[in-house]
Structure 1
């Protein structure tokens, strides 16, 4: 796509590319053998190779969270896998509560389905819902209850 002088061949490119693409190309220097061979590369990896991980991180602006040590052992808990997944969803604020569904216009109310007393947030579901109290009492040891009620869920 370059002419004999090494510059972009605008006549050739304008016949096959839209104006928007041509403007972007205009911001890029044409290939130059003096600078080395023109090769493709993935700029988000040091070795220029594409990985799904680097694509995900680039697209999501992913930063490694600073984990509270209490949550590091989620996957080592001796509980069913679905409980581990539930805990992971809570810690990462990904539990699809009615408050979140309402915010996304997927529900007509943000109220808790079980108790109907307040907005169904992650905190409400895990700590304050009257229906969840029986589960919490059965799962959380009494001497750890105060710490559980005050600790941050987010990793």
Structure 2
């Protein structure tokens, strides 16, 4: 589900179940694999976030050197470093500040995706003074992009 993928991300805790390069863990919609500036072998590509942490508890910048553009590195640096005692990683809802899924924000997202309404077109349609038959046969369907063409009608 691409729409859901763009609105969820992973809350990093111990970093054991999050693929560093393949999953959204810095922010919703950001997958580090999309920004690679050099090739990775299969083991590197599947590495969990926890494998890029030094025993001292800091990011292993040496492993990242030359693999990502400079503008991405501060995003990683600004992320909480995973720790073994923080529990398991979990998926969070990116449309709420607390990360909890709420039907209200999911509904709003779905409506925005389905009916990309621009400007005041809906208001104009409600206020239109023309014949009702034209409005219901043409106006409303055109706003929802579901007018039947001659080809579809046949």
TM range (shorter): 0.3 to 0.5
Instruction: Name the structure, 1 or 2, with higher relative contact order (CA <8 Å, separation 6+).
Output: 2
Rg bigger for which structure? 1
> If each structure's helix is expressed as a fraction of its own residues, which one has the higher value?
1
> If each structure's strand is expressed as a fraction of its own residues, which one has the higher value?
2
Q: TM-score, normalised by structure 1?
A: 0.34
